Amino acid sequence: MNGEQYTTQLRKPFFASSDDPAYVVHEDTFYQLRSVIVDEVVETHPVLRLFDSEDDPSTAIDGSGEGALPEADQRAVGIAHMAARARGNEGGFPSGLVQRGGYVYRSEEAREESELLAEDGPAYVTYRDATYEVEIDHEQFHEPVYRPTAEPVADDSEHIETILVATLVGARVTGDDLSTEAQQILSEASDDDYSETHPFSDAYTEVLRALDKRAYIDGNIRKDAGVRSNENEMIQYGDTYHEFFLRFGNEADT
């Protein structure tokens, strides 16, 4: 960045946060990459929303077919369709894509390419056998302005490993800490999934305590354990780092 006060909007630089830091090495120095908010700007962006239509007009444009609409519009219709489909139904929609009940055209290139945003743009589109009425609004967005930062944190690989372990690794477990049966459970889990039905065996209870997952043992599992499927954690087992996650199976208390 050559000392310049470079800034960006919308997305955090480096896709980094305090919970999920990013690092880079440059000329034998390791830097932690983050960002700070230094300002706020008000931007006006077009928002595409789709609404169910009882009509089936012949002028409706295919929102998913190749060549019918520009690529930017096809993406917009696909995302706005998720919001339209979710209205009044259970299941919701991907909040990272859908915003304000539709799709926000933030890219200048996408706006210039779009046919839906044109004054004479189509009033109806079809998508997956459904016909939607097109609604375009121009709305204000308050967006933070980020300044990237790169803080030097280490001068060698051993030091950066220590930093990463302190940042990312939770429980530290050695073979001497566990019984033979508990070690066998971890060995089996490293090759394939391992599961038990509550109440757990002594060996599995031992493993859960070593992983500092006591809520699975002592409390109301579903209420107290903070169970989140597919969210990996890291442990150090012996001299090796492992990712692991706990999840419920088909049985209510498995």
Using the predicted structure, report yes or no on whether residue 216 has a pLDDT greater than 80.
no
Q: How far apart are CA 169 and CA 229, in angstroms?
A: 19
- Predicted pLDDT at 40: 95
Phi, psi of 231 (to 5 degrees): -110, 105
Task: Give the phi and the psi of residue 224 in degrees, each rounded to 5.
Answer: -105, -20
The whole-number pLDDT of residue 252 equals 46
First to last CA, the chain: 52
At residue 26, the pLDDT reads 93
The CA distance from 84 to 103, in Å, is 11
Which residues on adjacent β-strands are paired with residue 65? none
Measured at the CA of 229, the angle between CA 226 and CA 233, to 5 degrees, comes to 75
Quick check: 219 pLDDT over 60? no
Cβ(42)–Cβ(74) below 8 Å: no
Q: Which pLDDT value is given to residue 110?
A: 93
- Say what percent of the chain tops pLDDT 90: 47
Q: Per the structure block, which two tokens stand in for 21? A: 């830091």
Higher pLDDT, residue 148 or 135: 135
User: Which of these ranges, 23-27, 114-118, 177-181, 222-226, has the smallest mean pLDDT?
Assistant: 222-226
Q: Is 148:13 a contact under the CB 8 Å cutoff?
A: yes
Residue 104's CB is within 10 A of a number of other CB atoms, namely 21
CA dist., res. 215 & res. 230, Å (int): 18
Query: Taking a C-beta distance cutoff of 8 angstroms, is the pair 48, 116 a contact?
Result: yes
Q: Is 125 a residue whose pLDDT tops 80? A: yes
| Mean pLDDT, residues 227-247 taken together | 77
User: pLDDT tens for residues 55-111?
Assistant: 778 788 888 876 689 999 999 999 999 999 888 776 677 777 899 999 999 999 999
Which residue in this structure is represented by tokens 């239509």?
Answer: 53
pLDDT number for residue 128: 86
Model confidence over 220-234: pLDDT tens digits?
665 555 555 445 788
